[in-house]
Structure 1
Amino acid sequence: MATVTLDHVKKEYDNGFVAVHDATFQIEHGEFIVLVGPSGCGKSTTLRMIAGLEDISGGTLSIGGRVVNEVAPKDRDIAMVFQNYALYPHLDVYENMAFGLRLRKTPKAEIDQRVRNAAEKLGLVDELERKPKALSGGQRQRVALGRAIVRNPAVFLFDEPLSNLDAKLRVQTRTQISKLHRELDATMIYVTHDQVEAMTMGDRIVVLDAGHVQQIAPPLELYNRPANIFVAGFIGSPSMNFIEGAVEVSASGAVFVSPGLEPLALRGAPTASSGITLGCRPEDLYVHGVAPEAKSLVDLGAFTVDVLEPMGNEIVLYASRGGTSLVARVEPQELPEPGASVSLSADATKLHLFDTASGVSLAHGI
């Protein structure tokens, strides 16, 4: 079984910089895991340690139940797809895909069968005699995928493989990778900084920041119940709105207060505190009076419209009040012009409360 287990894995360089701190999680056989986070968060370093391209400074890494800390990359039964394709320009598509098998002295008939099967899966049958320079970016990436597929590895590793493609090709290729995952029933570990790729492709997502694992969860759980402010702000576009304030408790109950909002009554909220941050996703904000009746709405008050961005199927509305700014994604409708006033409401069941100092989530829904 191609499980991959990281047990307190750490990467520290000679200058003392720690790129990955105490990474501990298990990837099950056949699972598609996505490592996501901003540049420099340690996601590619983690992938390279799994591949054997980076030494492990601490902890243990196991593939299929075997500790591989000291095992050479070629003996780990993995295949890696890189960002820059890494194709041999003097070889045609067939030979690029067959190259690794020839090095392993695989019988010629088996090489031919594997290459042609992979080419059929990837729509490359008519391109087998062409060289990389005659291919488009999407075709080159498919050749790189094919070179990995013919190896029939225990684990596939992807290091931002779509970042060099244009938007349309990225959508097509990520769909193809997801389809391949289902067909091959293979363990796949995918690194990206693109949250859309992470949300649409992964069975589970590992969110990293500054070398620390912030949360591991399926896409919807990550979106709906972020563990902290970092995850809440990183996942989602436009990102979650954050408003700093305080919780005041009186005989009538707990209330979230902030200079930029109307007071919000809380249920099951933390006790009185001066360091509380309210989080609300743009799609959970509504122009007052224009919302489904089933929503449990709370009034946030009147805001000044700053910018309107009509997107066709929705309008992105930027509004402010004092030092508080909000971004809302609302249905197409007649809205006040920039500079005018608009009243906003929020779905109380979708609001989040965080401890401002630690960033940890305190409550989901108020």
Structure 2
Amino acid sequence: MARVTLDKLRKVYDNGYEAVHDVSLDIDDGEFVVLVGPSGCGKSTTLRMVAGLESISSGTLQIGDRVVNDVAPKDRDIAMVFQNYALYPHMDVFDNMAFGLKLRKLPKPEIRQRVESAAATLGLEGVLDRKPKALSGGQRQRVALGRAIVRDPAVFLFDEPLSNLDAKLRVQTRTEISKLHRDLGATMLYVTHDQVEAMTMGDRIVVLHDGFVQQVAPPLELYNHPANMFVAGFIGSPAMNFVSGALDGSRFTSDSGTVIVDVGPNPPIQGPVTLGIRPEDLYTPEVSPAAKRLSDPFRGTVEVEEPMGNEVVAYVRLDPDNRLVARLEPQQLPGGDRAAELRMDLDKIHLFDPETGQALSA
């Protein structure tokens, strides 16, 4: 396996559009790093530059001890798994997995040993003689994974490999990829727009927006300490709530006056500020954990409820300009079109600069 280093990588197209701006990233040997962000943020373009499928406008890309900016994809010692599987329909599973090894003219016994070993790892032993059309979507994705594994590359690259699978298969396959990473100890760079995939799979996550890196951190650090409002709103589902207002001493008052919260001593600034609170850190007075420091209640009207079985997601209108989303326990269900009171966990409040969006630290 190998270390991957991106040093101020940029991608500018012929029409002048800059898709990736000075991305710098060190991926350790054996690390699983996820690039995540909305469509058009530059994550797939960055991955394709690592793969050699996109030229690098400026900056340096290093795999292991080699600078590979001008090295052909086939000579970079990488293997890529695509969103659309890219299997040969006229070949059976064995030949699809063995195709790259045959091009490298490896001995037939070694090819068979590698393919059978990968098939055993992925549970494909019984389908090696089948054509792709006779496989389920999950099996096809595992064949694509197997084709990458048999190459024994220095780096695995994944470009939204689960997008074509249904919800149940996505959960199953992401578990298989995570287990595969543990078993192989491989260096993996994984692209997705799904923040749940990112949070559950990555050792570290790189959040991108408009071609710029917003934050690089382990999953829980991103969740608990987002660097700015974009990261705070992108990581977590439902998204973090934001309320505009101002700090006067330790008291936060929303612009409409409907939310008044004591944020504690030594707030980082005074004056205009945006308060952030995650849906799971809101409670009704009926169910208020004694171990938590909770704000005084504030009132709103429940507009929509989404019962999920183990929880209910409630959309609460505070005033014409503010609505909060709360993840509540089923017994907290306040009922639709009814007045409701909510309290915030004071230890989970986030404060942001309303102009820059950057997080403010006490």
8 A contact 1:260–1:324 mirrored in 2:
no
Give the alignment partner of residue 343 of structure 1, picking from 336, 341, 348. 341
Q: Does 1:281 align with 2:278?
A: yes
Pairing 1:208-357 to 2, within 5 Å after superposition: 208-248=208-248, 253-258=249-254, 259-266=256-263, 267-274=265-272, 276-322=273-319, 323-333=321-331, 335-357=333-355
Residues 328-361 of structure 1: per-residue CA shift (max 9 Å, x gap): 0011115333222111101000010000111100
The answer to whether structure 1 residue 104 and structure 2 residue 100 are counterparts is no
Q: Is the 8 A contact 2:85 2:144 kept in 1?
A: yes
What SS does the corresponding residue of 2:250 show, helix, strand or coil?
strand
User: Is contact 2:2–2:63 with CA below 8 Å preserved after alignment?
Assistant: yes
How many Å separate the matches in 1 of 2:275 and 2:282? 13
- Aligned-pair identity in percent equals 69
> Residue 63 of structure 1 corresponds to which residue in structure 2?
63
**CA shift for structure 1 position 238:** 0.5
Q: Is the 8 A contact 2:286 2:332 kept in 1?
A: no
Q: What is the Cα-based RMSD across aligned positions, in Å?
A: 1.1
| Cα distance in 1 for residues equivalent to 2:190 and 2:243 | 33
User: Tell me, what secondary structure is at the counterpart of 2:61?
Assistant: strand
Distance 1:183 1:335 in 2: 44
CA distance in 2, matches of 1:171, 1:336: 32
Alignment check: 8 A CA contact 1:260 1:321 kept: no
Q: CA deviation at 1:260?
A: 4.9
For 1:30 and 1:234, the matched residues in 2 are separated by 27
TM-score (normalizing by structure 1): 0.96
Query: Residue type of the partner of 1:354?
Result: F
After TM superposition, give the deviation of residue 101 of structure 1 in Å. Answer: 0.3
CA pair 61-168 structure 1, distance change in 2 beyond 3 A: same
Listed as ranges, the gaps of 5+ residues in structure 2 are: none
Distance in 2, Cα, partners of 1:155 & 1:307: 46
Match of 1:151 in 2: 151
Q: Within 5 Å, which residues of 2 pair with 1:172-191?
A: 172-191=172-191
Per-residue Cα deviation, 1:195-242 (whole angstroms, up to 9, x for no partner): 110000000000000000000000001001100000000011110000
**Length-normalised TM-score, structure 2:** 0.97
- Structure 2 distance, partners of 1:268, 1:6, is 39
Q: Deviations over 1:8-55 (max 9, x none)?
A: 010000111000001011000000000000000000000000000000
Q: Which has the higher mean CA deviation after the structures are superposed, 72-81 or 265-274?
A: 265-274
Q: Secondary structure at the match of 2:309?
A: coil
C-alpha spacing 1:183/1:279, structure 2 compared with 1 (3 Å) = same
Q: Deviations over 1:42-78 (max 9, x none)?
A: 0000000000000000110000021100000000000
In 2, the alpha carbon distance for the partners of 1:260 and 1:134 equals: 62
Q: Offset of 1:263 from its aligned partner?
A: 2.2
Specify every segment of 5 or more residues in structure 1 that has no aligned partner in the other structure, as ranges: none
Whether the 8 Å CA contact 1:36–1:43 is kept in 2: the answer is yes
Change (3 A) 1:55 1:300: farther
Q: Which residue of 2 aligns with 1:198?
A: 198
Give yes or no for contact 1:278–1:353 (8 Å, CA) kept in 2.
Answer: yes
Shift of 1:292: 1.0
